[in-house]
Amino acid sequence: MASRTESLAGALPATLEWRDDTLYLLDQTRLPLQIVVERQASVEEVWESIRALKVRGAPAIGVAGAYGLCVAMQGSRNAGVAAFRARLAEQAAYLASARPTAVNLRWAVQRLQDRIAGHDDAGSSSTLYDVLLDEARRIHDEDQALCEGIGRNGQALIRPGCGILTHCNAGALATTGIGTATAPMYLAHRSGTPFRVYADETRPLLQGARLTAFELQRAGIDVTLLTDSMAAATMQRGLVDLVIVGTDRVAANGDFANKIGTLGVAILAKHFGIPMYVACPSSTLDLATRAGEDIVIEERAGDEVTSFGARRTAPEGVAVRNPSFDVTPHTLVAGFITERGLVGPPFEQNLSSLFGMG
Ligand code: MRU
């Protein structure tokens, strides 16, 4: 793995980039202290980068997975077409296994497979590789457009002077565009609307502190960092008018998975009468999953909880739970901000009529 470290003063590199037939990732585990861009030399490296959260956030891991499949297939450009197709299926399953909750990863590698399935065998494996890369580039371009659409459709929710609470990072760093939950914020800021964002730090891996506070501050947006346990008191003081979060998967009935702690924020928002919106690109909508209880929740290693950064903070041998996500029931959601518009209840009906097949 070759890496390049940049000065913190410069512009932030893209979350990921495909250049000269090579995938580069901004290593988010090092933010906000270091900006390091890593070349991904093999599909195993891409898998590990997704697993280790070097690239993270549902849309970004979808795009990384799509390019990762291209990396996996580079060595098969001279193979026979049947061997190419067999390896494609195997490598798609391997990449999708890196993280189970965000549907974007599975959706993206499936899109590449579907594109190849619909392609006749007349050409060579090298032609099939070009088709794969074309589809990965499309997913990448579309991701940026989805973020813009969410921004346009959510911007009006941000009233002058309002306070917005967000959890985890559903920002530019979680996508290849202007983020999902942050997209309305970036557009409102660009048009001169004053507002303040409260960013939950998001234990155990601190995506709110390390990433959301970092990117909003760099953009000149008024952002205040909270520990997760401060959200209730901040709402009680009347400082929060609106909650906007991202999501890793929205089920057909509107239940949604997002970073652990989102459910608590949703319950608090309901208690204090604060509307909670979920920024959801169509790439994160999973109409094939009926309800939240059917969403697989990733369990991560206990040492993420027993330490704070590199420092151990819990006794050796203590039992630990570390589910990376939770599921919020749709009854706590005011609406979904999608690229096609705001979707209110009844969610099952409205999501299906806006995004369903028929
Ligand atoms: O574990 P992470 O950092 O990948 O979790 C990210 C989140 O939970 C985000 O809120 C979600 O993926 C939406 S990103 C637009």
pLDDT tens profile 219-251: 999 999 999 999 999 999 999 999 999 999 999
Tell me, in angstroms, the distance from the centre of ligand 1 to residue 22's CA.
25
For residue 167, the ligand 1 atom closest to its alpha carbon is 10
Residue-level pLDDT at 353 = 97
Average per-residue pLDDT for the chain: 96
Between CA 40 and CA 35 the distance in angstroms is 16
Q: How much of the chain exceeds pLDDT 90, in percent? A: 94
Evaluate if residue 358 carries a pLDDT over 70: no
**With bands split at pLDDT 50, 70 and 90, how would you rate the model's confidence at 293?**
very high
CA distances from 146 to 55, 150, 184, 269 (A): 19, 6, 12, 26
Pairwise pLDDT comparison (118 vs 171), residue with the higher score: 171
User: DSSP per residue over 258-289, as a string?
Assistant: EETTHHHHHHHHHHHT--EEEE--GGGEETTS
Task: Spell out the long-range contacts of 233-241 with Cβ–Cβ below 8 A and sequence spacing 24 or more.
Answer: 234/165, 234/198, 235/165, 235/268, 235/269, 235/271, 235/272, 235/274, 236/272, 239/163, 239/196, 239/198, 240/163, 240/164, 240/165, 240/198, 240/269, 240/272, 240/274, 241/159, 241/162, 241/163, 241/164, 241/274
Q: What is the pLDDT of residues 172-226, one digit of tens each?
A: 999 999 999 999 999 999 999 999 999 999 999 999 999 999 999 999 999 999 9
Q: Is the CB of 258 under 6 A from ligand 1?
A: yes
Mean pLDDT for 243-261 is: 98
**With bands split at pLDDT 50, 70 and 90, how would you rate the model's confidence at 7?**
low
Tell me, in angstroms, the distance from the centre of ligand 1 to residue 155's CA.
21
Candidates 3.90.800.10, 3.40.50.10470, 3.20.20.150, 1.10.260.40; correct CATH number of 149-354?
A: 3.40.50.10470
Residue-level pLDDT at 310 = 86
Residue-level pLDDT at 1 = 60
For residue 61, the ligand 1 atom closest to its alpha carbon is 4
Tell me, in angstroms, the distance from the centre of ligand 1 to residue 3's CA.
24
Evaluate if residue 124 carries a pLDDT over 60: yes
**With bands split at pLDDT 50, 70 and 90, how would you rate the model's confidence at 156?**
very high
For residue 102, the ligand 1 atom closest to its alpha carbon is 12
Q: Is the CB of 170 under 6 A from ligand 1?
A: yes
Q: Is the CB of 338 under 6 A from ligand 1?
A: no
Tell me, in angstroms, the distance from the centre of ligand 1 to residue 248's CA.
6
The residue behind tokens 């924020």 is 265
Evaluate if residue 5 carries a pLDDT over 80: no
Residue-level pLDDT at 119 = 83
User: DSSP per residue over 34-103, as a string?
Assistant: -EEEEEE-SHHHHHHHHHTTSS-SHHHHHHHHHHHHHHHHGGGTTS-HHHHHHHHHHHHHHHHTT-SS-H
Tell me, in angstroms, the distance from the centre of ligand 1 to residue 168's CA.
7
Q: Is the CB of 101 under 6 A from ligand 1?
A: no
Q: Which of 259, 299, 300 to mutate to test the pocket of ligand 1 (most atoms within 8 A of CB)?
A: 259
**With bands split at pLDDT 50, 70 and 90, how would you rate the model's confidence at 6?**
low
Between CA 107 and CA 2 the distance in angstroms is 29
Q: Which of 53, 169, 176, 285 to mutate to test the pocket of ligand 1 (most atoms within 8 A of CB)?
A: 169
**With bands split at pLDDT 50, 70 and 90, how would you rate the model's confidence at 10?**
low
Residue 174: what residue type?
Answer: A
Instruction: Indicate which residues carry an active-site annotation.
Output: 248
For residue 211, the ligand 1 atom closest to its alpha carbon is 3
Between CA 205 and CA 209 the distance in angstroms is 9
Show me where the domains of the chain are located.
3-148, 149-354
Tell me, in angstroms, the distance from the centre of ligand 1 to residue 246's CA.
7
Where residue 150 falls (left for φ over 0; alpha for ψ -120 to 50; beta otherwise) is: alpha
Candidates 3.60.15.10, 3.40.470.10, 3.20.20.70, 1.20.120.420; correct CATH number of 3-148?
A: 1.20.120.420
